[in-house]
Amino acid sequence: MDSAIVVGDQWQRKILDARDRCTFGLLLVSPAFLSSGFIDENELPSYVGEGRAASIPVMLSKVDFQLHDLKGLEELQIFRYMGRRYSEPRAYGECKSGSPRRDFVFALFQAIEAKLALLESGTTH
């Protein structure tokens, strides 16, 4: 998370060092994420494709799958929330404040726990 970088530090080096030590990525997908040249060139290659670090892409804000280049993320199951209130999966930003957002976060927590359990057991699903 780049907000933890101290003012005056070499932000790019800090991010790349953290990426290189990372074994699991939580990718917060939004139009801004997908349009970032830095993310596209320096971060996504670590999580997309064969032999890459495990990750969970999370739809933070709505992305039009037909208009946006998903940069390889189309190969991965992107987490979106499918609650009782909705007829189709939602990004976090599409969930109303309060209970729907708490439900999104709890469902995401459960998905992360399940993914980490698979990784710990050596299963690569």
In a domain, 17, yes or no: no
CA separation for the pair 123, 47 (Å, rounded): 17
In a domain, 38, yes or no: yes
Q: What is the mean pLDDT of each run of 10 residues along the chain (125 residues)?
A: 77 86 92 94 87 91 92 92 89 93 96 93 71
**Predicted structure pTM score:** 0.85
CA separation for the pair 43, 17 (Å, rounded): 11
In a domain, 7, yes or no: no
**In terms of residue numbers, what domain contains 90?**
23-121
The DSSP letter of residue 28 is E
